[in-house]
Amino acid sequence: MKQELETIQADALSAIEAASDQKILDEARVAFLGKKGRLTAASAAMKDLPNEEKPAYGQALNVARQAITAAIESKLAALQEEADKKSVEGIDVTLPARELLEGGLHPLTLVKDRAIQILRRMGFALAEGPEIETEYHCFDALNTPDDHPARNEKDTFYFDSGKLLRTHTSSVQIRTMEKATPPVRIIAPGSAYRRDEIDATHLSVFNQLEGLFVAEDVKLGDLKGTLEYFFRAMFGNETEVRFRPHFFPFTEPSFEIDVKLHVKGQKPKWIEVAGCGMVDPAVFSSLAESRGDDLFDPEKVTGFAFGMGLDRLAMIQWGIKDIRLLIENDTRFLKQFA
């Protein structure tokens, strides 16, 4: 029996040495060490030996197995080394290296990150909510009347279930206040969807950033100071900011915000960048009713909200004249920001 093991070991070592590639080497491994291999079969035969012969036979089995295994590992390393050498044959190592292209952040990402950075320094926390919304969170809770144009199917993407793609991230403000305890100071960046015709200044999906601050004795001056600081931090300390009276269902009073744009060779002009206002008491009353407590009672708290389009901020920041450039993935355009 011991002589048989020596024969198996010699045959295995010979087959391993003759293997010219990894496939043939693996076939040799299976032939000797596999479940039906010769050494495996010899190992199974040990049960039929007398007890006094089993220790010596077992030791011989281990010697053979270790020798075969070591030979396979050595041959595998040699074959790999040979393959590596062949893979670099003919390569001229004196040639200059190929240029490694570096990626960069998309302009919308750059603007969003910058806006979040500024507002986080002012104490605002990030909040998020679903993009598929209910009419309650998108309209009813925000004091939007039933006949408001935004609720029309011509303006908003509805599902058969009655849910819709959110038209603004204001719904995140409602969802936050449903669970939070005042004071609340949050910003909600994210996508919004409207049935706008796509042109140089409109897309059917765009990026918004909205903010909300609710506490005791929040005043209009707090709103103006916050946004004036934000836009000057975003566009430069000399940026001129103005507030124009406007109407939004969920704020009262409400304003649109303009910044004066200075383009070389052109006359300075005012550009609308955001909407804002003091949270309408009706929003707080509706919220208090749905919560079943008085934490957001309009007699106890006040607040302000604001919203801006990140796409528009990017267009102003870099003088982009067509919003469609932000979604076309043209590397000739995007590499300017890398």
Write the pLDDT tens digit of every residue in 230-251.
Answer: 999 999 888 899 999 999 999 9
pLDDT at 253: 94
Torsion, Cα of 143, 128, 109, 150 (10° steps): -20
pLDDT at 263 over 70: no
SS3 267: coil
pLDDT in tens, 117-157: 999 999 999 999 999 999 999 998 998 888 888 888 888 99
Tell me how far apart the terminal alpha carbons of the chain are, to the nearest angstrom.
Answer: 73
Within the chain, strands assigned E span 125-126, 132-133, 164-165, 184-193, 205-215, 241-248, 251-261, 269-279, 302-309
| Separation between Cα atoms, residue 38 and residue 31, nearest integer Å | 7
Listed range (40-44, 219-223, 274-278) with the worst mean pLDDT? 40-44
Place of tokens 């140089």: 200
Residues 6+ apart with CB under 8 A from 89: none
Mean pLDDT of 163-172: 93
Which residues carry a binding-site annotation?
A: 252
pLDDT tens track for 189-229? 999 999 888 888 888 999 999 999 999 999 999 999 999 99
3-state secondary structure of 258: strand
pLDDT in the model for residue 55: 81
Q: How confident is the model at residue 46 (pLDDT cuts 50, 70, 90)?
A: confident
Of all residues in the chain, the percent with pLDDT exceeding 90 is 50
* CA-angle at 199, arms to 197 and 202, nearest 5°: 70
Helix (H, G, I), strand (E, B) or coil at 50: coil
Q: For residue 174, how many C-alpha atoms fall within 13 Å in the half-sphere facing its CB?
A: 26
Average pLDDT over residues 315-330: 89
CB 227 within 8 A of CB 306: yes
Q: According to the model, what pLDDT value does residue 250 have?
A: 92
The region, left, alpha or beta by phi > 0 then psi within -120 to 50, assigned to residue 254 is beta
pLDDT higher at 6 or 127: 127
Confidence band of 1 (pLDDT split at 50, 70, 90): low
d(CA 154, CA 139): 16
pLDDT in the model for residue 219: 95
Could you list the residues known to form a binding site for Mg(2+), using ranges.
252
pLDDT of 176 > 80? The answer is yes
Q: What is the pLDDT of residue 187?
A: 96
Q: Report how far apart, in Å, the C-alpha atoms of 226 and of each of 120, 233, 251, 304 are.
A: 12, 11, 16, 10
pLDDT digits (tens, 9 = 90+) for 62-121: 888 898 899 999 989 998 988 888 887 878 778 888 888 778 899 999 999 999 999 999
Instruction: Return the higher-pLDDT residue of 173 and 201.
Output: 173
Domain boundaries, the chain: 2-87, 107-337
pTM for the full predicted model: 0.68
What pLDDT was estimated at residue 201?
85
d(CA 201, CA 26): 64
E-strand ranges in 59-144 read 125-126, 132-133
Amino acid at 214: V
Give yes or no for residue 163 having a pLDDT over 90: yes
Distance from the Cα of residue 3 to its chain's centroid: 66
- The 10 Å CB-count burial string (b at 16+, else e) for 73-112 is eebbeebeeeeeeeeeeeeeeeeeeeeeeeeeebbbebbb
Average pLDDT across the chain, whole number: 89
- CATH for 107-337, options being 3.30.930.10, 3.40.50.1860, 3.40.190.10, 3.30.2350.10: 3.30.930.10
Pair type for strands 125-126 and 184-193: parallel
Query: Up-side HSE of residue 278: CA atoms within 13 Å toward CB?
Result: 16
Closest CA to 111 of 250, 284, 234: 234
- How far is the C-alpha of 245 from the C-alpha of 190, rounded, in Å? 26
In which band, very low, low, confident or very high, does the pLDDT at 188 lie, cut at 50, 70 and 90?
A: very high
